[in-house]
Chains A and B, each alone.
Chain A
Amino acid sequence: MSVTNLLENWSEFRHAHPVGDVPHDPYKWAMSIDLDACTGCNACSVACYAENNLPVVGKEKYAAGHSMHWMRIERYWPVDDTTSLEPATREFPDQGAQFLPMMCQQCEAAPCETVCPVGATNHTPDGLNSQAYNRCVGSRYCSANCPFKVRYFNWYDYPTTENVWPAEMTQQLNPDITLRSKGVMEKCTFCVQRIRAGERSVKNEGRVLKDGEVQTACQQVCPTGAITFGNLIDSESKVHQQWKAQRVELTADEQEKDKEADSGLRGYRILEELRAYPSVMYMERVRESAI
């Protein structure tokens, strides 16, 4: 082991969030999710199970809080006063529900990254919050410090657990990614295996990925196209345009929408005030005011 390696690469090793001197180049993967289009149908979540070898833990383990859904659909009931701490008191949910797909927000200043004792979770140059399963010792500090609680720990050895992947089921497993053994933390990766495969294939052509060439599994399946994924620094990409239209800045902790009362905008990031700088922008659900 070389100390010089440590000292020289320290600044590379950890970035708080993108700073002027080290901009993302040529990729910064990001997402936007239009909650007005999301219907809460769960297709994305199932697609994630299929793509990422997520174990089905079964009823008992689900009950114990051991589910592994990297992408979960949260269902909220609207309240009249969003700042109220009281639960919704309407007799009927006459404005419907609010669904929110929640997965790793790939924060730029990720609270999980700094605390990992072994450096198993790191920021990649293209703005992903990576998770090195082999390096993970399972201290679970990252999950403890995650504001969104989107990290999932392998409480059991699912590959050998009965009825998780019995017999023929193993043949469905995606060979592009590993099976995680017990004691390892995992989470949404923005389908990094697809990103890397895409990057490799265009590298041979001497160019960078164009918008739409890499899709995440959830994006690909989403029947209403609520999920947009792409390269935030590519001005041609839809995700870039959406962020721009909503005037959401990756490196800001307060967006236009928060500053102006009637900006007409609906883009926001969750728990922005914690300054984790998430890479996922949500667009507020719209409610018709005339009915």
Chain B
Amino acid sequence: MIDNNFDRRDFLKVLGWGGAAVALTGCGNTSVQDGKETVVSYVEAAAYVAPGISTYFNSTCAQCEAGCSVTGRVREGRVLKLEGNADSVINRGKMCGLGQAGVQHHYNPDRVREPLLRNGDKGETITWEKAYELIAQKLNGVSGDNIDFMTGTISGHLKVLLSNYMDSLASKNHFVYEAISPAVQRAANLKSYGVEMPRFHINKAKVVLSFGADFLGAWVSPVHFSQQYAQFRKGSDGQRGVLVQVESKMTLTGANADRWLVVKPGTEGVLALGVINALGLAGLSLPAAVAAMVKPYDKERVSQETGVSTDHLVKLAAILKERSPSLVLLGSAAEGYAHGSQNAAAINLLNQVLGNVGKTIEAAASVPFPQVAPSLGNSAALRMVNNRLADGQTKVLFTYGVNPVFTAPKETNFAANMAKAGFKVAFAHYLDETALQADLVLPLDSALEDWGTHIAEYQPDGVQISIQQPLMEKLHANTRGMGDVLLTLIKKNRAAEYAAFEDYYAYVRTALLQNKRQFADVGVDDEVFWNDLLSAGLVNVAGTSNKLVAKLASEIKLPAAVDTDAKFPLRLIPSVTASLRDGRHANQPWLQESPDPLTTIVWDSWVEIHPKKAAELGIVEGDIVEVESKNGTVKAQAYLFNGIHPDAVSIPLGRGHDAMGRYAKGFGVNPFAILDRVFDDETGELAMHETLVKISKTGKRVIVVKDEGAAGGNQHGKKIAVNIASDQVELSGEA
């Protein structure tokens, strides 16, 4: 038993199971001391490490927040490749390109290897002991109110340690920032369904109508949804699922749609209400309040406002009515406006009137252990941190897993505001833009060297706690796991409670053993349980089942027309690509050289312009164009692209780093920088699609570096990639 004097509730809190909705059985035979183990080096070959024979270890992918479980192939003590773990309900043995590149995060030559202390413009190598001392020294006498910790989405025991650490500093200022997050949708879902992120059953739907949700590319849990999509296309009872995508700029999902409908940017909500109206006219019974609300949205008006033809509107309503259940999804393209929440409400309402709630949308189980449940990021956090920095409220700033200097719009002056904080500590893998602004940079273990537990926001079945374990020995002697660092820091304040844990591994192990009964049969030996757990790489708990509540929106206010600006006539759509996301992986060369699926461009940014608009402006492919918003300009090569609304231009996010090493620095431009500060009216999220721009030629022209050849996407009459109409094919007989 534990010889420290703190009670069981505190103990559970330390270990992350505090406030559990599921009763925890006693911890009778747990021995914390047993947790005192050290990881055996794979280089000092253990019995199971045979030269030339690969061994496989399960862990969790940390490339995005979807929490896919991976199996690392390890040979001679080196991790070679990641595969999907088939036992995971999230990714079922599959992966995406981003996940595959995880090894390049680990082996990246530009990782920070030593703690660095700012000395003028240079970083001076210091020891960890000195770094810890320095932190203690800087924190000394600073009120908890003036200490901010900014992280990306965080869950599991790292989150527990972090919140306990913040608690020990008497600070409540843990800000979770994600530059790209479905935060508006979460709020809207909470209103419509009573949960932030329900479960979606694309595979059970006969029709999926997606308003800009790039579920095959970068939305929420793409590998999981891709598998659902495959089933959806095969059809549940022989009828192939139909995908209609509505957006102003084609995403990967849009490229896979049976019908891609281009809408005037921001009118997604209008279209949703128009479809509801059309459904009512087609004979679907609508609640009276809804019917009254959508009445003004007759097809002529909707068609005029959105640019979708009445014919398509009617067809869309017809197929939605005819083929049930359907599923309406909403993605960043619909959320990214000042009226984003209203758009989202309208789209959710469409799901409700179609009767999809409870059929293709279900409540997800909630995580029974609130302490380890994920803290979800949003962009409002950036606004808060930035305001605090600007006001001088933040004296000490910690950053981990975020790069706000890169992702904050230039107009926020984040970098300058950050300088106002007296002491900035960046926990970093690379010297990214934020780390370069920090006073102290602490090098972290890669995701493949570290321990941890993760719980993803999107849980398809029950709750999966994913285990992260090192797949190999540390590459660099002086990097530390984030958990270890936090443990060391927290020990300074709460030595007694944490003294028992020599390191983060011991902590995680103890924590999981503590809750063993929850995960395994009674009576399983600790060692067996622990080994099984590591071997599986994940553990499933039932979670608390929930029911959705149907709350029909009674009033949805959509702007009459999208405002135009004579000076800035075009709308900028900063697009999110599956591999580069918000730019944190731009230094992984496989991703830089992996062609963008739609334009096939590599290693650079581009400006997508509709050929019609380009002809008006005299722009041809490869022209370097200047995209100017109120807040700045970026210059990039033009790519003529039919899959974009003529009144919009699009630049992908993720490139344009001026730090982060050889593979990221200097490639492309960063559209985050020129975003206007327009926020969603309800949630305060940055409205990513509200930036108005104008474009002009600079007179320079380059050859666009892309995989597509001189023929473009044209097959010249050759039967290479062929499509067939669904009424001409017999799918039921297929193997």
Contact = CB atoms under 8 A, between A and B. Distances in A.
| A and B pair up | yes
Interface in A22-81: 35-37, 39-43, 45-47, 49-51, 56-59, 62-63, 67, 69, 72-79
A265 interface: yes
Given A163-B662, A172-B78, A289-B727, A93 B260 contact: yes
Nearest to B51: A175
B716 interface: yes
A214 interface: no
B717 A83 contact: yes
Contacts of B593: 49, 56-58, 62, 67, 69
Contacts of A169: 104, 107-109
B153 interface: no
B94 A223 contact: yes
Contacts of A290: 242, 315, 319, 726
Interface string A74-113: 1111110011110110111111111110000000000000
Interface string B697-717: 000000101011000111111
A42 B81 CA distance: 16
A166 B244 contact: no
B256 interface: yes
Interface stretch (B123-131, B224-232, B391-399, B624-632): B224-232
A291 B242 contact: yes
A178 to B, nearest CB: 15
A39 B256 contact: yes
19 contacts: A41-B217, A41-B252, A46-B579, A58-B603, A63-B703, A67-B593, A74-B721, A75-B597, A76-B714, A77-B712, A77-B714, A84-B717, A92-B643, A223-B95, A223-B222, A271-B718, A285-B723, A286-B729, A291-B315
Interface stretch (B340-348, B436-444, B584-592, B684-692): B584-592
Given A171-B475, A284-B722, 14 more contacts: A41-B226, A49-B590, A50-B103, A63-B705, A94-B260, A175-B75, A221-B95, A225-B227, A238-B735, A262-B728, A282-B721, A286-B233, A291-B242, A291-B259
Contacts of B358: none
B642 A225 contact: no
A17 B344 CA distance: 58
Size category of the binding interface on chain A? 35 or more
Interface stretch (A4-12, A116-124, A133-141, A241-249): A241-249
Interface string A229-269: 00000000010011011100000000000000010111010
B721 A285 contact: yes
Contacts of A78: 723
Interface of A: 35-37, 39-43, 45-47, 49-51, 56-59, 62-63, 67, 69, 72-79, 82-85, 87-88, 90-100, 163, 166-169, 171-175, 217, 220-226, 238, 241-242, 244-246, 262, 264-266, 268, 270-271, 282-291
Contacts of A46: 97, 100-101, 579, 590-591, 594
B28 interface: no
Nearest to A92: B262
A163 B440 CA distance: 28
Given A168-B108, A284-B722, A94 B729 contact: no
Contact of A75 (B84, B475, B600): B600
B723 A286 contact: yes
Contacts of B230: 37, 223-226
Nearest to B262: A92
Interface string B97-137: 10111011001110000000000000000000000000000
Contacts of A56: 589-590, 592-593
Interface of B: 52, 75-76, 78-84, 91, 93-97, 99-101, 103-104, 107-109, 216-217, 222-223, 226-227, 229-230, 233, 240, 242, 244-245, 250, 252-262, 315-316, 319, 475, 578-579, 589-595, 597-598, 600, 602-604, 612, 642-643, 662-663, 667, 703, 705, 707-708, 712-731, 733-735
Contacts of B475: 168, 171
Given A41-B578, A91-B612, A288-B726, A96 B75 contact: no
A100 B96 CA distance: 17
A99 B83 CA distance: 23
Contacts of A172: 78-81, 103-104, 107
Contacts of B662: 163, 166
Given A56-B593, A73-B595, A85 B724 contact: no
Q: B222, B602, B724 — which one has the most chain A CB atoms within 10 A of its CB? A: B724
B100 A50 contact: yes
A167 B80 contact: no
B94 A245 contact: no
B729 A265 contact: yes
Contacts of B735: 238, 241-242, 244-245
A264 B475 CA distance: 55
9 residue pairs, one from A and one from B, having the closest CB atoms: A264-B730, A223-B226, A241-B735, A46-B97, A59-B603, A288-B258, A224-B230, A100-B721, A97-B255
